[in-house]
Structure formats: C-alpha cells, structure tokens
Structure 1
Amino acid sequence: MKTLPDLSQLTHEQLLEFTQQLAMQNQQLVEDKQHLDTKVQHLTILNKKYEHELALFKRHKFAQKNENLTAKQISLLDEAVEEDIAAVDLELERLHADQSDVPAQKTTISKAKRRPLPDHLPTIRVEHEPTSTQCSCGCQLRRIGEDVSEKLSFKPAQFIKEQHVRGKWVCDQCDSIQQQPMPAYVIDKGIASPELLSHVLVSKYADHLPLYRQRLIYQRVGVDLARSTLSEWIGQCGVQLESLAEALKQIVLQQRVIHADETPVTVMQMGEKKPKKGYVWAYASTQYNSIQAVIYEFQPSRSGKHAEDFLQGWQGHLVCDDYSGYKAQFKNKAIIEVGCMAHARRKFHELHVTCKSQIAEQALRLIQQLYQIEAELREIPNCTAEQRRQRRQQDSQPIMQQLYEWLKQHQLKVPTSSPTAKAINYSLKRWHALCRYLDDGELPICNNWVENQMRPWALGRKNWLFAGSLRSGQRAANIMTLIQSAKLNGLDPYAYLSDVLKRLPTHKMKDIEELLPHKWKPA
C-alpha cells in the first residue's frame, strides 16, 4: 500500500498533479465498481434462471413422488378411507354381538342413500318360499303378499357359440336346391363375430388393455385365443375401418375452426435394436361445433410438413400452440392463427410454482378472470356464437387490455434474460393471436380441447408401451379416431363399433357418412 507524501513539502504544481492523480484513481475505482455491479447483477439473473430451470426439471421428474397429492391420488385416498370406515363398522357390529350383555351403541355416521338399480338391466327373479305351506297348527297357509329386495349381480365376460344354420331346400320336380348364403362379415370365414371384434378393439384402444392381458382374461373363462389371432383381427379391422376414418377426416376439413396438437409415441420396428420416436397428430372440431370429431394421424416425425399435408387446401382458423411446425401455415393468410391462452398461462404458472413470483401471481389472477367468463358462458343453455362474442367484448376485452398494459409495464422493469421476462415476452409476441377469440364467438380461448383428446394416447402408451411399426401406428390412429369421436358424441364405443362392423361389409361407399359417429343411428 502506497504511503501518502508529506503535503506540506509539496509545491503548488505538485499538489495539483497529486490531486489529478487521486481524481483519476477515484474515477477508475468508480468504473471498476460499476463493472462489478453489472457482473453481479448478470450472475444474479443467471442464478435465478438456473434455479427456475432446475425447479422445473425436479417438478417434472419427481412431481408424482412428492407429498402434494393430485386430484386422482386424493380420490384414491377417499376410497381407502371409505373402505376403512366400512370395515370398522362391521368390526364394531361383531364386537357388540359377541358382548351380548353390553348394549350396542348406535353410530351417528350417516350412510349414503342407495340409488335405484337401472331399469334396462335384465332381471332374474329368485323365489324364497317356505318348504311347506302347512302351519304347525295343522291349517293351510294362505299367501297374502311379498317383499321384494334387489341385489346387483355380475357375470364375467361370457362367450357365446353362434351356430348359423342354413337349411337346404329342394324342389322334387326339378331337383333344384336353395339355401340362404352366409351374411357378409368384416373378417370373411373368421370365427369372430362383430361383437367380439368390437370388444377386442375397445378393450385395447379405449380401456388400454394389451392383447396379452386380454388373452389371460379370456383364458379364465375357458376360451384360449392366441395372441397372434387377436393381432390379426385388429390388423384386418384397422384396414376395414380406414375408409370411415378418411371420410371423417374430410368432414373435419370442412369446418371453419380446427384444433391441432401432437404427442410422441415410441415406435419399435422389427429388425431394429433401438426404438424410434413417432408422433400422433390430432385435429379436432371445437367444442362449440355441432359436429364433434377428432382425427388422429400417425407420422414418423414432428416435421411441420405433416401438418401442411393434412391442411392442404383448407382455409380457416387454426387453434394451436406456438410450435414452429404450424407457423408456415400462416404465411399465405389462408389459415389464421388462434393463440392458446393456456400456454401463456402455463409460463406464469411454472414461474409461480418454482419461484413464488408475485408478478406471476398477478398475471395468473387476470387470466383466471378470463377463464371464469368462459366457464359462465358454458353454463348458458344453447349459448350462440353471437352471445359469446358480445359477452367477451363486454367483459373479457377490458381484462385483456388491462393484462396487456400490465405486461408492457413489467416488461420494462424486469431483466431481459430473466424467466419473468421470458414469460412476459411469450404473451406479448403472440398477443394478436391470443386476442383473436374476443371478436369471434366460434373461436375458443385455448387449445385445451384437443389436448384432452390426447389423453387416451398418453394412457395407452403407458400400457402397450410402443407401436410395432408406422403402419400399425396409423392403424391404431384410425381405430382411435372412431372410438374417441364416438365418445365425443355420447356414444358407447362398443355398441357403435359392433353395429358398424356388422353393416360395413354390405354398406355402400356413397353412403359411408351414415356410419360416422355424429350421424350414426343403431340399425
């Protein structure tokens, strides 16, 4: 450390020079401090960014193992508690019965009122009558009435052997023989009826039971069907149902508003050691549409070329997330982008969960008000597009304007590379697409509708794990298209497919639309 010189011994010129040196040193220290402050600020922002990303990774990986119960886990806990209550009640009854000298205390727990059994169930009458109708006094008993109590019974899956008997008729005069031909079946000369084929398809693609599990279930009731046989049935049904899936696709492409989304599915092809990633693309009509349908397409990649091929020649509003694969569709102005508010909200939700951000919480409150308005509109019976547009203009528009001003205000306050800035910029860059639903009652606020239609695939791949090939993936997509569209129209997939598979072999192709879920009526 330098020692200060004796100022009393310095001349006036030396004092001036010394003062200038001190000023220069002070300026250098100020600059060094500013540089360090900038570096500290940058490192602080970077640290928050990494903490946010790490919290997201941990949440994604360990969310199911932490102490926060999901709605499904809570429902399972409720079931366990109800089981315990029933068991304790029974044990108390037995204990009071054993201690006959101790008066039983009445429990105050109120049990749920038993619901009446459905009228459509077949009824079996089980008679309980005395073995003798003669009284112990010697007189004959006379029946004066009866008490009826109902029990709900169950039979496991029951196979029925259908014997198709075709009588032969001969004319004695000309010796001609007549015989009715066998009705046409989807699988010619196969043993499976349309009802059994429908059951196998629904079990795999709606109930997510792999074929080896179905085979074990069938074996328990005394029928052994080889897995290869079940696979052949599904393969042939997938081909037969392809024409229906294609017809439904053309119906969806006639709609003015379409949802789009995609999800990965593993593909494990024969002869290859490593699995590959395929993608299921979904295109659906909106929940406001009178035609309820969803189309699944299985593709080898996530390339935007697949969306371009599907939407080729189509004009309308496409509701989607911010995936770049859809962006090319908006360049020619024939397809108009409708943004997804759920994705914008998700950015702030993740920020709030990981960092407890007060800024994110304020954004979430404003977005929640928008969704509350949409929930109220859904409660209005037969709500029209014009009614939705008017309500959105009246109530949602001011909230959106408030949200926009709030985003612009905080954009200037937060560091540009922080997670908060990224969440804000995500919404501002897509603001026009996010606001588009305000001016059109047929447009939804977000893309959640089609994301919900992706859930069967998410459940399915946890059970059957992968598709065997791109061809089998598309076959599954065709079947899932019809099953999920049937569910959207309030149909029982088993009843729908059973009837369609029965009518399809003799149905005219020009009338194929009659068999689509939104038009189908049982024969």
Structure 2
Amino acid sequence: MDVALEFRSTLAEWIGKLGVALQPLSERLAEPLRQRHCLHADETPVRQLDPGQGKTKHAYLWAYRSNHLDQGPAMIVFDYQIGSAGAHARAFLGTWRGHLMVDDYAGYKALFADGVTELACLAHVRRRFFELHAANGSPVAGETAEARLQRRQAQARPVLVNLHTWLQTMQQAVAPGSGTGKAIEHALKRRPALVRYIDSGTLPIDNNAIRPIAIGKQNWLFAGSERAGRRTAAIQTLLVTARLNGLDPMQWLTSVLERLPTCPNNQIDSLLPLQKSTPL
C-alpha cells in the first residue's frame, strides 16, 4: 500500500511539473487563436478539492476553439477559473471582436453588447424538442465557402423561414409554461443569432465542435487546487490541439519535452502542436 501511495504521489508531481513546463506554450497558443474571426466558446463545471472542508467545490473549465470552417490549423485553449462569471470570458478574449458561437448562457451577454457578434447553436435549440419527443413520444465535406454560402441561401434560408412561421403558429396553440411552450419561446428568442450563419459560408451552424470537453472531464474526479487546475488546462490545451491537427499527442509531447529546455523564446512557435509548426 505504501508503495502504491508513493507511486501515485510521484506521478502527480510529474504531471504538475509537466503542466508548468507546458504553460508558456498554452499561453502562446491563445494569441493566434484570438486572431481568428470566429470562435466557439463553452464553459463546463469541474470539481476542485476544497482544503479543510473535506469535500469539493465547483470550478469551471472555459474552452475556446477555432472554427473548423476557417482556413489554418485547428486550435483549442482551455482556461481554468474558479467561477462562471462572464468576466472570465471577457478577460480571456480582451479586445477580440468577432463572431462567437455559444449557448444561451447569460455570462456572454456583456460581450455581445460590446461589439462581439453572437452566433447561436441550432443543436441546442433542437435538443429541447428532441428531449421532449424522447420523453413523451411526441454531403458537405470539402465544400468551398462560396458553394456552402450558395447552398445555405438556397436550402437553409427557406427552411428557417418556414420554421419561424411554424414556431409562431404553434406558440399560440400550446400552454406558455409547458415544456413545448418553453422550447418554442427559447427558439424564437434566439432566432437572430440562429440564422446569422446563412449569410456566410464560413460561420458554423452549431457548437458541437466543442462537446468533447464536457465528455472528457468524466475521466477524472477533481482538481486538487486552482493551481493544479490551471496546469491541467495547459496540458489539455496542447494535447487536444495536437489531436485536432492529426498529430499523435504522445509523440508530439515526447518531442517537445526533449526540445523545450533549449528552445529560444523566438522559436517557441516551432513547438506548438499545429500541422505546420511555423511562426504565427
């Protein structure tokens, strides 16, 4: 038992040192990410050990991902924070002003009032109706942006117009406080941000590109501290970005740890887990 505990402690120490070593790369990756004109964002609760209380408390892993329809390598950055206040998103994005794909969380509203353009997730709207139905019984790869825009105008726009008309009609026929009534109200309220994508060939239609974050957190119980959470975020930032770019995370990590101690600051971009490790 003592050997097992000692091994676990040693392994945790190694991971902590790994997070410290990779932190500069994670911070650097956030800079080119904020140069993209369209981003996905999501916040998900995680558990953090609460010393002295004998229990855990809520912390949040904020995730920011590049748009998969953009040109250039894919990027994702995790930002570990002890709260869910919108101020954390505003602090991370800083002066960035682009299109932001999010759910309907109120914490993002201040960004939209300050020049960021809101994109709403059609999958979130669909989910409310799908869940009600489940409970009550009730070819685009490789497409150019120009072709995608034409198809959206020709096919998606009429569907969305008809959907809006249908929702308005159904709203008069259902009880406002019912599950269906709330789902309809949510869809109508989000309409401007939901349909914005049809006037572009590069804006995303939903926020599903960021879903693996919420799924991945199920593989660990809690962060031992805020500092440990930030180190975990740095590690996940780089390993998930490597995977998004078709790199083997283990091979990339091994190579970077060998080169990192002697890499000059002006060549740090060569260590980033992108398809083309060139200065950004």
TM bin, normalised by shorter chain, reads over 0.9
Q: 2:29 aligns with which of 248, 254, 257?
A: 248
Q: What residue in structure 2 maps to residue 331 of structure 1?
A: 113
Change (3 A) 1:403 1:498: same
Quick one: which amino acid aligns to residue 46 of structure 2?
V
Give me the identity figure in percent: 45
Structure-2 separation of matches of 1:292 and 1:454: 18
- Looking at structure 2, the residues matched to 354 and 318 of structure 1 have their Cα atoms a distance apart, in angstroms, of 32
1:402 aligns with 2:183: no
**Following TM superposition, by how much is the alpha carbon of 1:453 offset from its aligned partner in structure 2, in angstroms?**
3.7
Q: Choose the corresponding residue for 2:48, options 238, 255, 267.
A: 267
Change (3 A) 1:273 1:225: closer
Cα shift at 1:439? 0.6
Residue from 250, 263, 269 that aligns with 1:494: 250
| Structure holding more strand per residue | 2
C-alpha contact 1:304 1:326 (8 A) present in aligned 2 = yes
Question: Which of 91, 103, 106 does residue 321 from structure 1 map onto?
Answer: 103
Residues in 1 aligned to 2:259 and 2:198: alpha-carbon distance in whole angstroms = 45
CA displacement, residues 46-104 of structure 1 (integer Å, 9 cap, x when unaligned): xxxxxxxxxxxxxxxxxxxxxxxxxxxxxxxxxxxxxxxxxxxxxxxxxxxxxxxxxxx
Which residue pairs with 2:75 in the alignment? 293
Any idea what the Cα deviations from partners look like across 1:248-281, whole Å, max 9, x if unmatched? Answer: 0111111100000111111113333231111101
CA distance in 1, matches of 2:7, 2:54: 26
Please show how residues 303-322 of structure 1 align to structure 2 within 5 Å: 303-322=85-104
Shift of 1:232: 2.0
Q: Note if contact 1:264-1:277 (Cα within 8 Å) is conserved in structure 2.
A: yes
Instruction: State the superposition RMSD in angstroms.
Output: 1.8
The CA distance in 1 between the partners of 2:120 and 2:50, in whole Å, is 36
Contact 1:266-1:277 at 8 Å conserved across structures = yes
Q: Distance in 2 between matches of 1:390 and 1:269?
A: 53
Provide Cα deviations, 1:324-352, integer angstroms capped at 9, x if missing partner. 011111002x2000000011001101111
CA distance in 2 between partners of 1:453 and 1:397 (Å) = 31
2:14 is matched with which residue?
A: 233
Q: Which residue of the partner structure matches residue 133 of structure 2?
A: 352
Deviation of the 1:510 alpha carbon: 1.4
Q: How many residues align?
A: 275
Deviations 1:429-477 (A, max 9, x none): 110100011011111111011113432223x23xxx1110010011001
The 8 Å contact of residues 329 and 335 in structure 1, kept in 2 or not, is answered as: yes
**Which amino acid in the other structure matches residue 424 of structure 1?**
I
Q: Please tell me whether residue 340 in structure 1 is matched to residue 100 in structure 2.
A: no
**Structure of higher RCO (CA pairs closer than 8 Å, 6+ residues apart):** 2
Residue 478 of structure 1: CA displacement? 0.3
Specify the SS of the correspondent of 1:503.
Answer: helix
Which is greater in Rg?
1
- Structure 1 residue 225 displacement after superposition: 7.1
Deviation at 1:305, TM superposition (A): 1.1
1:27-106 aligned within 5 A: none
Which residue number corresponds to residue 277 of structure 1?
A: 58
Aligned equivalents of 1:409 and 1:269: distance in 2?
A: 50
3-state SS of 1:491 partner: coil
Aligned counterparts of 1:403 and 1:228: Cα–Cα separation in 2: 56
Q: Which residue of 2 aligns with 1:23?
A: none
Contact 1:245 1:295 in 2 (8 A): yes
Partner residue of 1:424?
184
Q: Does 1:513 align with 2:276?
A: no
Matched, 1:391 2:147: no
Q: Distance in 1 between matches of 2:10 and 2:174?
A: 63
Q: Helix, strand or coil for the counterpart of 2:211?
A: helix
Q: Which residue of 1 aligns with 2:140?
A: 377
Name the SS for the 1:292 alignment partner. Answer: coil
Is 2:38 the counterpart of 1:257?
A: yes
Consecutive unaligned residues of structure 1, counting only runs of 5 or more, are 1-211, 217-223, 358-375
SS of structure 2 residue aligned to 1:442: coil
TM-score, normalization: structure 1? 0.51
In structure 2, what is the Cα distance between the partners aligned to 1:402 and 1:417? 24
SS of the residue corresponding to residue 228 of structure 1 reads helix
SS in 2 for 1:250: helix
Deviation beyond 6 Å, 4+ runs, structure 1: none
Which residue of 2 is the match for residue 108 of structure 1? none
Counterpart CA distance in 1 for 2:174 and 2:10 is: 63
